[in-house]
Amino acid sequence: MTPEMVTTIGQQALWVTMMIAAPLLLSALAVGLLVGMFQAATQINEMTLSFIPKLLVLVLALVLAGPWMLSVIANFTKALMEQIPALIS
């Protein structure tokens, strides 16, 4: 196994991690921004106000993007396992 192969596998793993995390992080960011704007407009400074909307949106995003996220992980794992014989020799 060459250093280039290790670098490529690490790069692919980071890319898959980013793709899997993006739907959840972006949805939480959007809801947090909207709730923050609402709090700034109404001057309500309640810390727990943003928790429930973020939680609900994260559950919704996980339900909608979950099958896609699972297929991305499964395809990456399958490809990595298929590469094991080539990596050993």
Q: What is the pLDDT of residues 49-86, one digit of tens each?
A: 889 999 999 999 999 999 999 999 999 999 999 998 88
Structural domain harbouring 58: 26-88
Domains contained in the chain, number: 1
Report yes or no on 19 lying in a domain: no
Report yes or no on 17 lying in a domain: no
% pLDDT > 70, the chain: 100
- pTM (2 decimals)? 0.80
Report yes or no on 32 lying in a domain: yes
Report yes or no on 58 lying in a domain: yes
* Distance, CA of 4 to CA of 30 (rounded, Å): 38
pLDDT exceeds cutoff 80 at 9: yes
